[in-house]
A = this chain, B = another copy of it.
Amino acid sequence: METIRTVKEMQTASAGMKRAGRRVALVPTMGALHEGHMALVRAARDQGAAVVVSVYVNPTQFGAGEDFKRYPRNLDADCQACEREGVTAVFAPSDKEMYPDGDTATWVEETRLAAQFEGEKRPGHFRGVCTVVAKLFNIVQPDVATFGQKDFQQLKVVQRMVRDLRYPIEIIPVPTVRETDGLAMSSRNQLLSKAERAQATVLWKALQVARDLFNEGEHKTQRLEDAMQRTVSLAPSARLDYARVVNAESLEPVPEVRRGCVVLIAAQIGKVRLIDNVVL
């Protein structure tokens, strides 16, 4: 397995793979790899493609006062995990490689799906995500890229960006991987204290409450959302950001909950902000 540090080497390596008739699959990550990322890697490998895992904590998708500095980083362990999974190359660029002028004058911005939820709570977040994903697409030139359903809104925003900008890239959604107690895997889980870790399951509990209610025949949006709010309020360290049932394509409110709607939840557990979702 190769570890590639510069944009030029990555572009050359990718062009070489494509000239050799190989499909290239990109798994974009911010590192601190866990089983959720490994599911992305396996889904990429299942495409019969050379797998490139990018490891880059992108500063432009973090707001002021967010957890950019304390976001977990561990490139050595990430490379070992990738090697074990038969990854072809890890692309781990420096900030200087990704933002050669220290910043960027050019932004890629999805303006519709990105407006609410994470986009509202974290202004500029999706602009940073779209910009760095466009850069990674231009550097790695993949045929396919895998994105986790855990970041549901991000997945939809990226799919829309790919469609709008006519990238010749297939986006493959990969189901969320959970701990045995249901907590969605996230690099941020490492930042939780032991007490917070125990309470973090409240997001998944709330989603299950909503799903169970729906399966029992409750189709009123407000009822599902109220039930989730009550569930989260039982965890003393949890502060709910939102718990909403929306159309899974447009992310718009639904008058009545139907199969295929997505339930989105975000909550602060102590100082750590977590998100999760379930499609009904």
Q: Which A residues form the contact surface with B (CB < 8 A)?
A: 7, 11, 15, 18-19, 21, 98, 100-101, 104-113, 130-131, 134-135, 138-139, 141, 160-161, 163-168
Contacts and interface: CB of A to CB of B under 8 A. Distances in A.
Given A19-B19, A101-B163, A108-B165, 9 more contacts: A7-B166, A105-B113, A106-B110, A107-B108, A107-B109, A109-B109, A138-B166, A138-B168, A141-B141
Nearest to A7: B166
Contacts of A111: 105-107
Contacts of A108: 106-108, 134, 165
A106 B19 contact: no
A105 B139 contact: no
Contacts of A105: 110-113, 160, 164
B166 A139 contact: yes
Contacts of A134: 108, 134, 165
